[in-house]
Homo-oligomer: A and B are copies of this chain.
Amino acid sequence: MANQRNGSATRKRVIEVTKQLVNEKGFNNTSISDIIQASGVKKGNLYFHFPSKETLGIAILQEAADEFFRFLEASLQGNRPLEKLGSFFDAVLEKHRSAHFVGGCIFGNTALEMADSNPNIARLVEDVFRRWADMIANVLREAQRGGELDASLSPTRFAKHIVATIEGGIMMARLTKNEEDLKDCLDTLRAFLGM
């Protein structure tokens, strides 16, 4: 029981440290010895929990995905569907502003780093974007049912467009370290939504 608790604490610590390192240097550039050094976890113990760097990569993305979907659900707040979406846009801007536009989005970063080289990781990130777009599409459908949004618009396409624009906006703001580019992208989305 005590061992299991320690095991789970080790797992958690390794995931936390690796997420930080991958955010700073990318997945390929983070070595097992970096993780050992930063976490203080012994090599044998690390391999016991994560037999390969890929399993560790998948674990940190799953953890990041859980965190992101909690954030998404918590920020989709409001009385009307478009108000919910507006709150989510505000929360995205605030999240990256408070990180000073450093680090960006772990899914976007991993997408560009691993899409061509690691199909398992690519599938996982693809799934995050898909689930994210599905949740946004549901809000858009709600807005259409309530007459808040033009019924001719395709919720599926527009939801994908929102995800793509946010990812691109985060990328641009990360270069300038300034909120303007991301804010402009979000404001344009608001304009299209008639918000």
Contacts and interface: CB of A to CB of B under 8 A. Distances in A.
Contact of A112 (B113, B116, B156): B113
A165 interface: yes
A-B CB proximity, top 5 nearest: A164-B168, A168-B168, A167-B168, A161-B188, A126-B175
Chain A interface, >50% SS class:
helix
- Contact-residue bracket for chain A: 35 or more
Contacts of A158: 188
A161 B165 contact: yes
Contact of A28 (B28, B115, B126, B191): B28
A184 to B, nearest CB: 4
Interface in A12-40: 24-26, 28-29
Interface stretch (A53-61, A69-77, A89-97, A101-109): A101-109
A119 B172 CA distance: 14
Interface of A: 24-26, 28-29, 102-104, 108-109, 111-113, 115-117, 122, 125-126, 129, 153-154, 156-158, 160-161, 163-169, 171-172, 174-176, 181, 184-185, 187-189, 191-192
Contacts of A113: 26, 112-113
> Counting chain B CB atoms within 10 Å of each CB, which of A115, A168, A174, A181 scores highest?
A168
A108 B170 CA distance: 11
Given A112-B109, A116-B102, A167 B161 contact: no
A26 B171 CA distance: 16
B157 A188 contact: yes
> Counting chain B CB atoms within 10 Å of each CB, which of A24, A111, A117, A172 scores highest?
A172
B160 A164 contact: no
